[in-house]
Structure 1
């Protein structure tokens, strides 16, 4: 997806619920990056993702990385005055597709004025997850943590499935699994059919008396994260509890269905599916039924390990934009690109 070595630097940014991560690398070597991070998530306001708050965090972090690189210079030798260029910036942000209008309106001009960079890519976090996982090859990526979204491309257009939040979707994600586990525990608490005594025991170990759980949960503004925090308990119970095992099997079916909805069809040829996100760290209790579900719903696809994370994907996109080799489909909401027209200088 990227071209050969070049003289310039690229900046990759990953903005999500756990904060902001920034990485600087050579355009020709995006895997060799220097990184920094902030644990403060970018705010979301009435106009969507807050561009001013993102810039307030990003610009000092970017300048610090550039200053550090300028002291070392290419190949480690001194670079007096920090004389090097920032060729491209790629920013992946959670909510970019639906809440990114302000970012798309503000960031290209702001970044050019502040950092002198004219090549800017603004991407949904699912796109940077895709770029990090598959490095521009046709296929699909499933990103699952608290939520769950699947994104696929044949390199002509994007196809998205789910990612609609814990009230409308995210089926099979961490919050979905946790909620299903807590529901089964509450059925056991009531003496209703389909309950799980094992999950009830884990509920009370984690949250306290079951009858008090609604009062603890419903006032919380971070309900999806609280629900997702119970997903590992469901996974631990699955080895000896058929209710927990069934929950993970159903989650696997939902995840496979999302992947099947976005993966290029068999007529498009070879298709790879990569899994990324913290949910898959639960291991075999989820991965074994997921592999089985994928083999049924996507028999023509091959499950592969993700090559990198969303921050690596941001760098990959920035490097490709800098070298003129970006092959991922451009889209007004999924992958918005601002770049100068080719000229007689290095843009040519």
Structure 2
């Protein structure tokens, strides 16, 4: 048995899971202990703050090993102290575009502090994929505040959207919330396309319409604030045609992203993962219709696990030399002892 660590870093903070796996990796990974840190990681000139991640990760490893009953003092020579971790997989939001600092600093830092010689730095969409579908071909749509689709035929990755709330994330929570707030403001102004129902809900949530810009624009967490209104749009969609149109358009955008990344040949499994799909039937009913129309050869399946479970699966596969997901410099960066 060997120990592996999975890390999931996103807008709601960090989550860590310790797993055990057979040395050959054939039995999969069993989750032994988990812990979390609520504060998200900072980003700076070199991207995601590697020092802050390391400062959170090291105490978390100590906590998890203690929960697992590993005595790092007495078991060190047996391989259960520093160096106990056979592999670590870190999935982080923004890894593809903001991960330069992590890629430059973490391998040496983890090798020095924990004796880790096998490390994967992955985009959170990749760990979402691994959690949802494991290591088989297909496509995953990960949707929460944002939205990204990722697919693979196991020879390379295909990505669609995930470009943030200003350039994309079409159909995600921030997109739905922003469209709903725009429809509310149109109703306040008396313009076409306005929704009195959404205006009423907006004012109940945020206060008088003229005050909304002053409340929203100074916020540094604007995407999350916009996404917080998405459930209100979904609730109004049951009886309001404007809200229903917004959610139906979101479903079309999500299906278009899935269609863009599905492997082009043969049948394709599509998994949906992320908090956005908790909106339920107002989103899922039009989404199923869109997927059936745009991807008639695809089958929608339930995600087997979440992104933290995906990170743990990747770490276990790396430890057992069974990692089949395609390596990629930004999406799935694999660093081993042999890399120097």
TM-score (structure 2 length as normaliser): 0.94
Q: 2:318 aligns with which of 313, 321, 326?
A: 321
| Counterpart-to-counterpart distance in 2, 1:259 and 1:159 | 10
Partner residue, 1:12: 6
TM-aligned CA deviation for residue 116 of structure 1: 0.9
CA contact (8 A) 1:70 1:81 kept: no
CA contact (8 A) 1:30 1:312 kept: no
Describe the superposition over 1:23-42 as per-residue Cα deviations: whole angstroms up to 9, x where unpaired: 00102442433100001111
Partner residue, 1:81: 75
In the TM superposition, 1:130-209 aligns within 5 A as 130-209=129-208
Report whether the alignment pairs 1:280 with 2:299: no
Describe the superposition over 1:271-320 as per-residue Cα deviations: whole angstroms up to 9, x where unpaired: 11001111000000000000000001111110000000000000000000
TM-score (structure 1 length as normaliser): 0.92
Partner residue, 1:4: none
CA contact (8 A) 2:21 2:30 kept: no
CA contact (8 A) 2:32 2:68 kept: no
Q: 2:286 aligns with which of 247, 266, 289?
A: 289
| Counterpart-to-counterpart distance in 2, 1:64 and 1:195 | 52
Q: 2:308 aligns with which of 307, 311, 325?
A: 311
| Counterpart-to-counterpart distance in 2, 1:180 and 1:117 | 46
TM-aligned CA deviation for residue 65 of structure 1: 1.2
Partner residue, 1:53: 52
In the TM superposition, 1:244-263 aligns within 5 A as 244-263=243-262
Partner residue, 2:21: 27
Aligned-pair RMSD on alpha carbons?
1.6
| Counterpart-to-counterpart distance in 1, 2:119 and 2:251 | 36
CA contact (8 A) 1:264 1:271 kept: yes
CA contact (8 A) 1:130 1:151 kept: yes
In the TM superposition, 1:322-337 aligns within 5 A as 322-337=319-334
Higher mean displacement: 227-236 or 22-31: 22-31
TM-aligned CA deviation for residue 117 of structure 1: 1.3
Describe the superposition over 1:63-112 as per-residue Cα deviations: whole angstroms up to 9, x where unpaired: 22123324489xxxxx9536433110000001000010110111111111
Q: Flag structure 2 segments of 5+ consecutive residues without an equivalent.
A: 23-27
Q: Flag structure 1 segments of 5+ consecutive residues without an equivalent.
A: 1-6, 74-78, 343-348
Report whether the alignment pairs 1:41 with 2:40: yes
Partner residue, 1:76: none
Report whether the alignment pairs 1:98 with 2:97: yes
SS in 1 for 2:6: strand
Describe the superposition over 1:94-143 as per-residue Cα deviations: whole angstroms up to 9, x where unpaired: 10000101101111111111111100000000000000000111011111
TM-aligned CA deviation for residue 211 of structure 1: 1.3
| Counterpart-to-counterpart distance in 2, 1:44 and 1:196 | 37
| Counterpart-to-counterpart distance in 2, 1:205 and 1:328 | 47
